[in-house]
Structure 1
Amino acid sequence: MEVMNATRNRAKKEKLNLKKAFEDFIIKDNHPCIMAQTVFSMDQVELNSYSNFGSTETAKQLIQDLEKYISNYDFESNDFKTFLAVFPDSPDYSEIEFENQLWKQLKNLHLVDDAEWDPEVSRDPEDEHFSFSLGGRAFYIVGMHPGASRKARQSPHPAIAFNLHWQFEKLREMGSYEKVRDKIRERDEKLQGNINPMLEDFGSNSEARQYSGRAVGKKWKCPFHNSN
């Protein structure tokens, strides 16, 4: 019993330390994404840590947590929440290495996901209306890691933020989307010194190009391209 309690307490402490590190990254360091600042300041972030970034075993655990997150989400509320998967034991990645691991993890998530693709978005990563679907819901994926070239993506540890696509549609419904978008881009340009060349509105180009945070050219092909 004492060993179990010690293990449980250690895990709890590690999770609190991870959350503090990401809170500092978003709030203390004045992250350009005001939506990220909002969910962290209101304690609306579900943070979980995982090992073996990219693996099938991690995908099985992660899809269960995402399904629980979706089932507990209040879609009638105007409050937003983010699911954050952190991989603290990962090595230092180059941008290419991180991109490869990110898409490997997403592909394995898709393989263990029993739900149908969200009908509100395209399942073709070449399509301008593509969005990644998990648990029957579309998500905008934000990959982050210490080796990212964009400062806004230089998180304390490799991580994936899963933001429900529904949240962006809700912002449009509330008439706030353009204002929030423009403010984030303005703050990101001030932080970096230039505009993120990958940022485009949904429906302008496939958002798959934005997921890893790496600037990719027109000839870039999504690694998920041949998946069904």
Structure 2
Amino acid sequence: MKKLYNKADLTRDKSLDYQKRMMIRQFTEKMSDREHLFPCVPAMIGYSLDQLRYGFVGDPTEEDTIHELADLLRIYSERSREYGKYTSLIIFYDISEEMNKTHGIEQYEQLFWKQLSELIDQDNAEWPSEIPTDPNHNMWEFCFHGERYFVYCATPSHKNRNSRSFPTYMLAITPRWVFQQFKESKYAEKIIEKVRRRIEKYDSVPIHPELKTYGENNNYEWKQYFLRDDNQSLSKCPFHFKQ
């Protein structure tokens, strides 16, 4: 059975191999870099307060991996409210050296949407009735185990968009209720402005035009899940809903 980790668990668990420890070290360096501040302020707060949870899965091209991911997200969905108001689930994939060398942005993008489409096939819970199943609706977002989620993807192929770059294939899955609570904060607007200023400094390309606000008429959440290294986007969402 796969498990979720907090910082203390990662330190205590001697069964974690070198590659997993390296992933955590690289993530820690990214979140702790005071010279190049990671743009997402709420994520950094969640990291500093130890409200993030971490999970490891296998190669994204292997069939067993989607079952591992589903197990972790199911556990997280049931417990996330215990972790704190800045929580997210961080998923590290075990990619091969060959994939690291040969996969480009578009190949990782295809893998990402294949993972989400297959993940929904592992969900025994009903899709929330208030959320459209069509990703081209402005109120659509990914749902699993009855929870609504924003899904962020980072890859080794991102070079210009440093905010989406990581040495391995990685997901950050954040419950919608985290964003709702944050939005109610009196500091929310100032923090959002700070995030955008940080992105401008952190990335060597302009802010992606699809970074908009959930629920706006011209916003489609799926376009924010996987941002390419330039400001291009897919014309149609590849996500396939389980009928």
Shorter-chain TM-score range = 0.7 to 0.9
State the shift of 1:160 in Å: 0.8
How many residues are aligned here?
A: 219
State the shift of 1:16 in Å: 3.4
In structure 1, the residue matched to 2:23 is 18
In structure 2, the residue matched to 1:116 is 126
Q: Deviations over 1:121-164 (max 9, x none)?
A: 32211011111001111110101012124110111211111011
State the shift of 1:55 in Å: 4.2
Q: Return the alpha-carbon distance in structure 2 between the equivalents of residues 81 and 106 of structure 1.
A: 20
In structure 2, the residue matched to 1:207 is 221
Q: Contact (CA 8 Å) 1:56, 1:109: kept in 2 or not?
A: no
Q: Return the alpha-carbon distance in structure 2 between the equivalents of residues 54 and 208 of structure 1.
A: 21
Which secondary structure state, in structure 1, belongs to the residue aligned with residue 149 of structure 2? strand
Structure 1 residues 180 and 147, CA, compared in 2 at 3 Å: closer, same or farther? Answer: same
In structure 2, the residue matched to 1:156 is 167
1:180 equivalent to 2:186? Answer: no
What is the TM-score of this pair, normalised by structure 2? Answer: 0.81
In structure 2, the residue matched to 1:5 is none
Q: Deviations over 1:149-204 (max 9, x none)?
A: 41101112111110111111111223343222221111101222532222111123
Alignment gaps of 5+ in structure 2: 1-12
Q: Contact (CA 8 Å) 1:56, 1:105: kept in 2 or not?
A: no
What is the TM-score of this pair, normalised by structure 1? Answer: 0.86
Q: What is the alpha-carbon root mean square deviation over aligned residues?
A: 2.2
Overall identity of the aligned pairs, in %: 26
Q: Return the alpha-carbon distance in structure 2 between the equivalents of residues 133 and 55 of structure 1.
A: 23
State the shift of 1:62 in Å: 1.2
State the shift of 1:43 in Å: 1.9
Which is worse superposed, 49-58 or 79-88?
A: 49-58
Q: Return the alpha-carbon distance in structure 2 between the equivalents of residues 129 and 139 of structure 1.
A: 12
Q: Contact (CA 8 Å) 2:156, 2:167: kept in 1 or not?
A: yes
Which secondary structure state, in structure 2, belongs to the residue aligned with residue 9 of structure 1? coil
In structure 2, the residue matched to 1:101 is 111
Which is worse superposed, 126-135 or 51-60?
A: 51-60
In structure 2, the residue matched to 1:4 is none
In structure 2, the residue matched to 1:27 is 32
